[in-house]
């Protein structure tokens, strides 16, 4: 269930972001992607997720894939409504399991917030909800853009453990964008840097 990028290139408003990204992001480990602002990390993630088109090259991925952005959108309704939404979709059976949602609430330390309007949460709480919403339907490929950027330090460690636990399953692939080098050294199975229009393995 790895992700393979072949000669992927993208420009934005006449500015070249990257010209020839060729890489294989392995399953069963945490792949960390870093780089300075404006180098195209988010764009690369969105291209892999299929939310944006590349100018050239191709991406091959097998399995269910999800993307969660750094400024996640909260659906109307409560935290619980947001977490249960993916389970209501036909593709995931359409029979939402409330126990799963409660388990996720517990795991992410969202107990007590489950009936709060999701739009009223703080940035860090929104990120936790977005992470739970992305993981609850157990996709094979998890693409996360700075998932712990606004979360307090203690909780960051817990989330890192949850993510590492998630990719213990060898059929799952995790690609995570982070600016936190300590975090990368803690969790990365492989790390990559987008620099000077190219993706380099560190």
Q: Does 135 bind another protein (CB under 8 A)?
A: no
Question: Residue 61 Cβ, how far from another protein at the closest point, in Å?
Answer: 13
- Measured from the Cβ of residue 92, the count of other Cβ atoms closer than 10 Å reads 16
> Is 35 or 69 the residue whose CB approaches another protein more closely?
69
Closest CA to 108 of 147, 78, 67: 147
Tell me whether residue 23 is exposed, middle or buried, using C-beta atoms within 10 angstroms of its C-beta: 0 to 12, 13 to 18, 19 or more: buried
Among 13, 14, 37, 91, binds another protein (CB under 8 A): 91
- Assess contact for 132 and 110: CB atoms under 8 A: yes
CB of 94 to another protein, least distance (A): 10
Q: Considering the complex, state which of residue 40 and residue 72 has its C-beta at the smaller distance from another protein.
A: 72
Pick one of 4, 6, 92, 186: the residue that binds another protein (CB under 8 A). 92
Q: Tokens 């229009």, residue?
A: 197
Going by C-alpha positions, the residue among 52, 50, 46, 75 that lies closest to residue 63 is 50
State the residue for tokens 């739009």: 119
Stretch that binds another protein, among 11-19, 59-67, 166-174, 177-185 (CB under 8 A): 59-67
Minimum CB–partner distance for residue 81 and another protein (Å): 10
Return the residue of 90, 115, 153, 168 that touches another protein, per CB under 8 A.
90
Query: Does the footprint of another protein cover residue 12 (CB under 8 A)?
Result: no
Strand order in the sheet with 15-25: 15-25, 3-12, 56-61
Candidate segments 12-20, 64-72, 164-172, 177-185, binder of another protein by CB under 8 A: 64-72
Residues 127, 133: Cα–Cα separation, whole Å: 10
Q: How far is the CB of 164 from another protein (least distance, A)?
A: 22
Piece in contact with another protein (CB under 8 A), picked from 12-20, 60-68, 161-169, 186-194: 60-68
Q: What value does the CA radius of gyration of the chain take, rounded to a whole number of Å?
A: 17
Position 64 contacts another protein (CB under 8 A): yes
Which H or E run includes 183? helix 181-187
Gap between the Cα atoms of 79 and 113, Å rounded: 7
Residues of this chain that interact with another protein (CB under 8 A) are 49-51, 64-68, 72-73, 75-76, 85-86, 89-92, 133-134, 137, 139
């Amino acid at each position: 269930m790895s992700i393979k990028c072949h000669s992927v290139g993208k420009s934005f408003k006449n500015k070249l972001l990257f010209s020839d990204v060729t890489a294989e992001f392995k399953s069963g480990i945490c792949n960390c992607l870093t780089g300075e602002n404006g180098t195209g990390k988010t764009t690369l993630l969105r291209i892999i997720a299929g939310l944006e088109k590349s100018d050239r090259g191709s991406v091959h991925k097998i399995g269910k894939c999800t993307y969660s952005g750094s400024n996640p959108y909260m659906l109307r309704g409560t935290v619980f409504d947001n977490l249960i939404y993916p389970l209501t979709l036909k593709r995931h059976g359409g029979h939402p399991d409330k126990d799963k949602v409660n388990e996720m609430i517990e795991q992410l330390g969202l107990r007590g917030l489950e009936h709060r309007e999701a739009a009223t949460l703080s940035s860090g709480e929104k990120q936790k909800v977005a992470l739970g919403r992305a993981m609850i339907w157990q996709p094979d490929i998890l693409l996360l853009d700075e998932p712990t950027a606004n979360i307090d330090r203690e909780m960051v460690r817990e989330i890192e453990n949850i993510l590492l636990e998630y990719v213990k399953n060898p059929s799952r692939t995790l690609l995570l964008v982070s600016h936190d080098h300590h975090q990368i050294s803690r969790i990365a199975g492989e790390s990559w840097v987008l620099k000077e229009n190219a993706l380099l393995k560190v």
